[in-house]
Amino acid sequence: MVTNLDPYIIIILFFMGSIFGSFLNVVIYRVPKNMSIVYPSSHCFSCKKKIPMKYNVPILGYFLLSGKCVFCLNRFPSRYAFVELITAIFTVIVYLIFNLNSLFFVYLILTYLLIAVTFVDIDHFIIPNGFILFGLSVLIISLMLDVLLLGWEYSVSGSFVFAGFLFCIGLIGQFILKKESIGFGDVKLGLILGGFLGVEYSILALYLSFALSAFIIIVFYRGKMNSGDTKIPFGPFLAAGTLISLFTIGPDGGNYILNWYYRTMF
């Protein structure tokens, strides 16, 4: 954890994070549609005209344009600015926890991946295989370079715990509800997340994921669950549980939530 805060580093990382957030907006929109994330450059999807460079500024650009295309006045989703903002904030948070070292870059990539997973799953109820393969590649390289400090055995154990639990819950849910309850994309994502987290943090992330999903369902979907055709993406909850598990790591390397649990229960 960072002890001596350098405001210049934080400002730079916030700005860089917002730029990556702008790129994530492209990924979130184009990948599910099998579009190139490189070409064409940022443009209005209504009139197809390129957004002028002076307006193509992360976060601020949306407000400079008043949320509308400068040419056809078609409205842009406010989520564009939101994704850029949370990506910038999360970039700073990862820095404050892990400092500027190899772990910072690994967990930052994982954070960006989970942001993309969250919004794609919300929009399309899918987790693209490209995301899974990318995450798996980063995980394997990190383990080969001993960046994660978990070791292959503990990482693989975490993958089996995370993915195995989701797979079993999916089978039980399908048997009881007679329909898919946990998508296989979630299981594959769990395989990646468990590898990054290890066994102990995987259990924590799973608990938080299901607790958050239960809360959201009770508060927002309670009246809709009887319809039988209500679909709720679970990827965002897995992402949230994982990020909370990572963002609650303390200066001593322990986890605030786990430490509280051990003190309370034992």
In a domain, 122, yes or no: no
In a domain, 121, yes or no: no
d(C-alpha 118, C-alpha 131), whole Å: 11
Residue 209 and residue 260 in one domain: yes
Residue 242 and residue 142 in one domain: yes
Residue 176 and residue 236 in one domain: yes
Residue 180 and residue 86 in one domain: no
Residue 88 and residue 149 in one domain: no
For 62-103, how does the pLDDT look when each residue is reduced to its tens digit (9 = 90+)? Answer: 888 888 888 888 888 899 999 999 999 999 999 999 999 999
d(C-alpha 157, C-alpha 147), whole Å: 17
In a domain, 8, yes or no: yes
Residue 216 and residue 137 in one domain: yes
Name residues whose C-beta falls within 8 Å of residue 81's C-beta, 6 or more positions apart in sequence: 59, 61, 62, 63
For 20-56, how does the pLDDT look when each residue is reduced to its tens digit (9 = 90+)? Answer: 999 999 999 999 999 888 887 787 778 878 888 877 8
In a domain, 55, yes or no: yes
**Distances 67 to 29, 49, 197 between C-alpha atoms, Å:** 17, 16, 38
Domain end call among 82, 100, 118: 100
pTM of the model: 0.93
Helix, strand and coil percent figures for the chain, each rounded to 5: 70, 0, 30
Task: Encode the chain (266 residues) as per-residue pLDDT tens digits.
Answer: 676 788 999 999 999 999 999 999 999 999 999 988 888 778 777 887 888 887 788 999 888 888 888 888 888 889 999 999 999 999 999 999 999 999 999 999 999 999 999 999 999 999 999 999 999 999 999 999 999 888 899 999 999 999 999 999 989 888 786 777 788 899 999 999 999 999 999 999 999 999 999 998 888 766 665 555 678 899 999 999 999 999 999 888 889 999 999 888 86
Q: Which domain holds residue 70?
A: 1-100
Residue 161 and residue 74 in one domain: no
Residue 232 and residue 144 in one domain: yes
Is 165 in contact with 173 (CB distance < 8 Å)? no
Residue 76 and residue 176 in one domain: no
pLDDT for the residue numbered 222: 67
For the chain, how many structural domains are there in total? Answer: 2
Is 44 in contact with 51 (CB distance < 8 Å)? yes
Residue 144 and residue 41 in one domain: no
In a domain, 57, yes or no: yes
In a domain, 64, yes or no: yes
